[in-house]
Every structure is written in structure tokens, then in C-alpha cells.
Amino acid sequence: MVKKIEKEFTFRFYAELNDFLPAGRKQKAFNHGLKTPVTIGEAIESLNVPLSEVDMVLINSKPAEMNQTLHENDYISVYPVFESFDISPVSNNHKKPLRTTRFILDAHLGKLAKYLRMLGFDTLYRNDYEDSEIIAIARQENRIILTRDKPLLKSKKVQHGYYVRATEKHEQLVEVVRKFDLYNQFQSFTRCMTCNAGLVPKEKDAIINKINPDTASAFDEFYYCPDCDKVFWKGSHFERMEKLILSLINK
């Protein structure tokens, strides 16, 4: 058996990848010893950073592949998935860009799922998905996994995943809109907040028996979900959401 020898390397993680590191290693270069031979991918995983969050790695300033072996004293720069920038000319490790942004959310993100649907994003959510189910659906349907569960993103089968840092629902929405640069993709009231099906605009007369008289007299635009037989209108909930979005855009 080959005896494994520990060698020293220098790592620098950028942007939100620092969230996975302990306090003393955030936002700066640090030395780290590893048993060799070791690949870049193995080294990054040993530091508890999920590979699904990593888009580009440079070794001594040169683009590198995940299966490349490290050499003593290499300087490794690790960058997160850049959803909104085209870095393909410098990245050998770039994932195929997604044409439409679709999501699948884990059990902790039910409120965020409703908000994303309200903005028109195709968002799958159930509170009883198994991790393996989430990963399989994401692969099949080219969906981005949003999760509060770091181990889920460590699976090698995850192609596109993002760990949501914020715990408060509005902050989560802000974070996801910024992260994936979604500002230009809003299509409010095209999707049912409850079940994700497409909404159909309806004349008031057609749904009058499904809403209360106060709502009927206060609003003129209605949207109907054929799947769960619900009617939606741009009430105070939506107005608050609209204000939040406008404040986001203006920041």
C-alpha cells in the first residue's frame, strides 16, 4: 500500500462559499494540510463545501478541473456558481446555463415556494419529498434545488443547487432573487400559489359564486386555478409583495 503523505496547500474561498467555513477561515487565504494524493474535488469536500456550489477553481491562477491532483504549496481559489454572469471562457467546470429558471424546494422552504410562485416561477414544493426524490426531479426537469439542508447538496448527483442562508421568508426571497438575477423574469399572477399550476384570467361574472361580495365589489381582475378551484386577486397580500419587490429593485 502506498503511504499517504500529508502536504500543505493554500485555499481561498470567495463570496457565499465562505458561509460553509469556520470563522477563522472566512474571506481570507488559509493553509490546510491534506493526505496526498488528493484531487481538488476531494480537498474542497474535506473542507465541508458542497461541490454543487462551486463553479470555478483556479490553481495558481490557472483554471482547473475537479479531478486534477494537487501539488504541494498549490494556491487554490474557489468561486461559487455564478448564475448571472457568463464566465464560460475562463471556466472548464461550467454548467450548462438554464434557459428558464425553475426550482424545487425542500421541506423547510414552504413560504418561499409560495412567494416564488406568486412572482410566476415554476416552483415545486412538498413537505414530504425525500432527498433522493428532490435530486431526481431536479435532474429530470432541469430545476435548481433550493434548500436549507447542506448535506443534500453534497450528493454528487446534484447538478444545480443553492443553500439558502436567510431564515426569514422575505429575506429568503430577496436572497434568491438577487442570487439568480430574477428581476427580469417576474410574471406575477400566472401561477397558483397553492399548487404551482398555471392561472387563467377570468371575468368577474364567471367566478362570482366563488368569492365573497366584498371582494367582488373591491376588485376587477381575477385569476383562476383550474387544478385546485381557487380564485386569486391582487389584494393587500399582493400589494405588500409588490412593495417589497420594488424596494428590492431600487436597492
Interface residue list for Zn ion (CB under 5 A): 192, 194-195, 197, 225, 227-228
Cβ atoms of 115 and 173 closer than 8 Å: yes
Question: Minimal CA–CA distance to 113: which of 125, 128, 130, 101?
Answer: 125
Residue 31 C-beta: closest distance to Zn ion, Å: 54
Cβ-proximal residue to Zn ion, closest one: 192
The SS3 assignment for 57 reads strand
Q: Tell me the C-alpha to C-alpha distance, in Å, between residue 112 and each of 61, 103, 107, 177, 239.
A: 38, 11, 11, 11, 17
Rounded to the nearest whole angstrom, what is the least distance from the CB of residue 135 to Zn ion in the complex?
Answer: 25
The residue among 118 and 164 lying less far from Zn ion, judged by its C-beta, is: 118
Q: Which residue in 17, 82, 69, 72 sits closest to 43, CA to CA?
A: 69
Shortest CB 230 distance to Zn ion, Å:
6
Q: Determine how β-strand 30-36 pairs with β-strand 62-63.
A: unpaired
Choice between 39 and 188, CB closer to Zn ion: 188
Distances (CA, A) of 103 to 113, 118, 162, 216: 9, 13, 10, 33
Q: 37 or 226: whose CB is closer to Zn ion? A: 226
Of the pair 69, 194, the CB lying nearest Zn ion is at 194
Least distance between Zn ion and beta carbon 12 (Å)? 46
Return the number of the residue (78 or 225) whose C-beta is nearest Zn ion.
225
CB of 25 closer than 8 Å to CB of 44: no
> Which residue lies nearer to Zn ion by CB, 114 or 179?
114
Smallest distance, Å, CB 232 to Zn ion?
A: 9
Least gap, CB of 194 to Zn ion (angstroms):
5
Q: Which residue do the cell numbers 381575477 mark?
A: 222
Contact call for residues 200 and 224 (beta carbons, < 8 A): yes
Least distance in angstroms from the C-beta of 231 to Zn ion:
10
> Could you tell me which of 52, 51, 39, 50 has the C-alpha nearest to residue 9?
39
- Of 54 and 225, the one with the shorter C-beta distance to Zn ion is 225
Region for 240 from its dihedrals, namely left if φ exceeds 0, alpha if ψ lies in -120 to 50, beta otherwise: alpha
